[in-house]
Amino acid sequence: MAHVNLPSTLSVAQWEKLKAPKTPATKLPDELKQLTKLHLALKWDDFDAARLKTADDIEAGQDKLRAAEKAAIKALRSQAETVAAAAADYETKAKADKSVPKDLVAAANAIAKAARLYAAEVAEAVDAAHQALQDKAGKLQADKGDEVDPKQLQQLKAKLLAAMATVRKQQSPRPMRFLIVRGKVNAALALAYAVGTAQEKQLKACLPNEGPYKVIKDKTAEVIWEQKAVTLVSDRVPAGLLKKVQLWMKKTLKLNVRLRLRASSGEVEETEGEDLSESDLKTATEQARQGITKQAVAARLAGLQAGIQAAVQAAKAAPAKSEIPALVTQVAKLVGAGSLGEADELIDEIEVLLEGDSHEADNDSETDNEADEVETTEDAPARPAPKAAPGDDEGRAAFTRRLSALQARIKQALAGASAARVKPLSDGVTQAAKVGRYADANRLLDALEPLLDQGSKAGGGEAARAQALEAWKTRRAAAVSSLKAVATQVAAAKHASSAKAVIELQAVIKNLTPEPASLQQVKDLQRWLADDDVVTDVCELAEDIRTPLLGALDQLHDAIAA
């Protein structure tokens, strides 16, 4: 990233030279000092594509640039605007005071203009840095030609084997899905609980210079263990394609696995291959999870933040999106517990939910001018649902029993003050159960249960208020614990913006009233949590504390108002 020069006009020394003995009070010198401090603290070279030599360097540079945009660069641009405002304020006051020299008025005007121009130049430099890093990444990829990153192949192989191990055990908590990317010569396969953009990009990277690609994914199909082989139950896979997949796995991944394809008509296609040993599958599962880092999980989640926030806002209009906040919270818990593999799988699911029903293909401009083709279940003829995997009946029965026990309370809550929060979750439970995703449906019920008592005023009085207050204390304690942990990590990073971030985290903790006693206190907390920009920043930096805390406040609001 090219350095942006801090003009001498914005130097506090320059201002002090002009300052008259009698002048209006101003914080401008302090603001200029802070601007210089933030400017010098920013490590511009970290984002300079010209200094970065390898693909890993470029990726690290892109990660650092994205992080800086949320912290150091954001603070720098904000401070430039603060300087401009302080200078403009001084100029206004100085014009009204005839004793202030005209050159001082002109200097304030010049500072305001220079500060705004500087902020704009920083923004332009950031955009240019993104483009330069992207161009450098493309050049490195083109220079590599047909070479595929060995680490990526190793990770793909490990994930495939781990998924196959899950299928073989026939104890999968939810249906396993598949995605195939077919290039000009080869075809590659990914298996996961939720398949989407992440798997598509990974497979295309493993088939360099083979575009335009055709993507085959069937969101209603299933991968099961049948006849001692991994079996794709689908009508969407063309005849002969499975053989291409098996040959690619054998040649590229050194994985000679027997695959089967079973159509709804009963027609079966099989490939040659070997059965995998238990030790191979166990080792692969461990490798797949070891290859996932906290940084990688955080980067994936950060890249989805805009979509997640939009989905939260759109939850009422699109009930399926109501799963997303609960999944994000679960990801944070899994990361905290060190279960990075499971967290990565949930991010796959969030990504697929955010994609929704859009199946537009990317245009592979680096390898071909033709557009990729995406074939999905929307193109498929009607057919019977795939055969249920063993264990589904038990999961369905347990879910049905749980839902039946809650039905009356759900109906009551839908008629109460919390209906707006209950309905999206209730609809999400219904949608997940319809497609056999009982683990997901149960997760939504976990989020729904604390809200159910809000639909009825029958349990009012001191007992209800005490129960609601206890729920708030529990949610608040969890949020405070999480925020303190993040504050410790931020402080340890010793970044230029660490102090400001820690102050924001501490401010949020301080504003979380331990025991709101009046209805007005509860309303103030609800309004602050829903609208405050600092809370939004903290949710992006740490985890979504807003949703569970608002849920507890809704319950407390109803209990106090009863």
Q: Is the pLDDT of residue 455 over 60?
A: no
Which helix (H) or strand (E) segment holds residue 262: the answer is strand 259-262
CA distance 471 to 207: 52
Mean pLDDT of the chain: 78
Q: Is the pLDDT of residue 469 over 60?
A: yes
514, exposed or middle or buried, with CB in 10 Å at 0-12, 13-18, 19+? exposed
CA atoms within 13 A on the CB side of 510: 7
Could you tell me the residue ranges of all domains in the chain? 8-144, 150-282, 284-359, 393-452, 462-561
In this structure, are residues 451 and 422 in contact, taking their beta carbons and an 8 Å threshold?
yes
User: What's the pTM?
Assistant: 0.39
CA distance 393 to 253: 35
* Residue 235 CB coordination number (10 Å): 20
* Residue 530 CB coordination number (10 Å): 12
Mean pLDDT check: name the lowest of 156-160, 289-293, 305-309.
289-293
Between residues 442 and 134, the one the model is more confident about? 134
Q: Give the pLDDT of residue 364.
A: 34
pLDDT interval class at 291 (50, 70, 90): low
CA distance 217 to 232: 11
* C-alpha closest to that of 297 among 336, 325, 326: 336
* C-alpha closest to that of 207 among 379, 346, 368: 368
CA distance 443 to 421: 16
Number of helical (H) and strand (E) elements in the chain, helices listed first: 21, 8
CA distance 176 to 520: 49
pLDDT interval class at 16 (50, 70, 90): confident
**Angle, alpha carbons 454-354-386 (nearest 5°):** 95
In this structure, are residues 153 and 59 in contact, taking their beta carbons and an 8 Å threshold?
no
37-51, 151-165, 357-371, 389-403: which is most confident: 37-51
* C-alpha closest to that of 218 among 206, 230, 233: 233
How confident is the model over 61-81, as a mean pLDDT? Answer: 91
CA distance 531 to 313: 13
Between residues 22 and 216, the one the model is more confident about? 216
Which helix (H) or strand (E) segment holds residue 188: the answer is strand 187-192
pLDDT interval class at 503 (50, 70, 90): confident
CA distance 432 to 416: 24
In this structure, are residues 289 and 297 in contact, taking their beta carbons and an 8 Å threshold?
no
Provide the token pair at 351. 């990504």
Q: Is the pLDDT of residue 310 over 70?
A: no
CA distance 94 to 152: 63
Residue with tokens 């490195």, as numbered in its chain: 140
Q: Give the pLDDT of residue 377.
A: 44
Q: Give the pLDDT of residue 454.
A: 52
* SS3 per-residue string spanning 95-154: HHCCCCCHHHHHHHHHHHHHHHHHHHHHHHHHHHHHHHHHHHHHHHHHHHCCCCCHHHHH
Provide the token pair at 75. 């603070």
Q: Is the pLDDT of residue 319 over 60?
A: no
Q: Residue 122 phi/psi, 5° resolution?
A: -65, -45
Q: 72-96 and 28-41 helices cross at what angle (nearest 10)?
A: 160
